[in-house]
Structure 1
Amino acid sequence: MRKVQGQMPHPGVAPKGTDETAVYRLSDDSGRLLYVGIGRNPMNRWAAHADLHAWWPQVAAFEVTWYDSRGEAGAEERRALRQDDPAYNIHGTPKWGGIVSGHVRAELAVRRPCVERLAEAEG
C-alpha cells in the first residue's frame, strides 16, 4: 500500500500489467469528507466529477491510497462509504436506503391510480 496526500500533485496512475487500484477521498477546506471513489487513474475520475457534479468546486484536498488489487480497494471503498458517510456519495452509504425507498414510494404514488382504474374497469 502506498499513500499520496496533498493539494494537487499528481497522485499517480496504476502501472500497466498490474491490478493496482486507488481509493481516493476528496475533502473541502474544513476537512469535511465530500466523496470517496475508486479507480486506476484518479485524475481521470476527478475530471469526470468536475464535469458532472456541482459539488466539485468545494474540493480543496485529496488523499489517495493505492492497493495491490481492485478487490482490496473495493473492500476499502465499501467500508469508507458505510462508516465515513461522505457528503456526496449516495450508492453504498447509509443514505442509499432512504433515497431508494423514497423513489419507490414516489413511483408507487404515480402508478397506484392507474392500477386502481384498471382494477375498477376489470371489476
Structure 2
Amino acid sequence: MANDTALAPPDATHPAERTALYRCYDADEELLYVGVSKDPEARWEQHRDKPWWRDVSMRVVEWFDDRASAERAERKAIQTKGPRYNVHHNQRPADPAVVEALAAPKRSHRTLADLYPDGISDAQARRLVTLLRLPERVAEREALR
C-alpha cells in the first residue's frame, strides 16, 4: 500500500508522552493530510473510510516528546503547506467539491469527482487510461490463445 517513513521511533520507556506528527502524500507527492497521534497506525485505520484515503501512497512520521509540540508542528505544517483535506488550521479557502466529498454519505462506489475534486494531472490521466484498458487487454490476450 503506502510507503511509510518513520523518524525517531517512540522511546519504549516513555510511550505515553511521545506523539507523532504524520503527513500523508499522494503519488505525485502532493500533501493530502497532516495529523497527530500517539498511535499513527490506529489513527490511519480510522482514516480508511475517508474519500481521500485511497489516494495516499506515502506517509511520513516525525516523533515529538509531547503532544503540545506535535500539535504546534501540525498547525504550522497545515498553515504553511495547505494540505488538501485538512479543515482545521487551514488558511486556504475550502474547496466546495472537497467539502461535499467529505460530507457525502458512504456508498459502494466512488466517482472520479470524489477521487479528483480539483481535476487530475497528466500522470493521473495516463494511469486511469491504463487501468480502464486493462480488461480490454486481458480479453485480447484470451482471444489470441
Tell me if the contact between 1:29 and 1:59 (Cα under 8 Å) persists in the aligned partners.
yes
Residues of 1 paired with 2:37 and 2:21: CA distance? 7
Deviates more, 1:8-17 or 1:33-42: 8-17
Identify which of 74, 87, 112 aligns with 2:84.
Answer: 87
CA RMSD of aligned residues (A): 2.7
Equivalenced residue count is 93
Query: In the alignment, what sits opposite 1:71?
Result: 68
- Structure having the higher helix fraction is 1
Give the unaligned 5+ runs of structure 2: 97-145
Higher RCO (CA-CA < 8 Å; seq separation 6+)? 1
Q: Runs of at least 4 residues of structure 1 off by over 3 A?
A: 8-18, 95-99
SS at match of 2:29: coil
Residues 75-95 of structure 1: CA deviation (Å, up to 9, x unaligned): 100101111100100111114
Residues of 2 paired with 1:25 and 1:96: CA distance? 20
Q: Quick one: percent identity of the two aligned structures?
A: 32
Q: Which has the larger radius of gyration?
A: 1
Residues of 1 paired with 2:51 and 2:11: CA distance? 28
TM norm structure 2: 0.56
Give the unaligned 5+ runs of structure 1: 1-5, 100-123
Tell me if the contact between 1:10 and 1:43 (Cα under 8 Å) persists in the aligned partners.
no
Query: In the alignment, what sits opposite 2:44?
Result: 46
Residues of 2 paired with 1:76 and 1:37: CA distance? 10
TM norm structure 1: 0.65
Tell me if the contact between 1:24 and 1:42 (Cα under 8 Å) persists in the aligned partners.
yes
2:28 partner amino acid: S
* 1:71 Cα offset (Å): 1.1
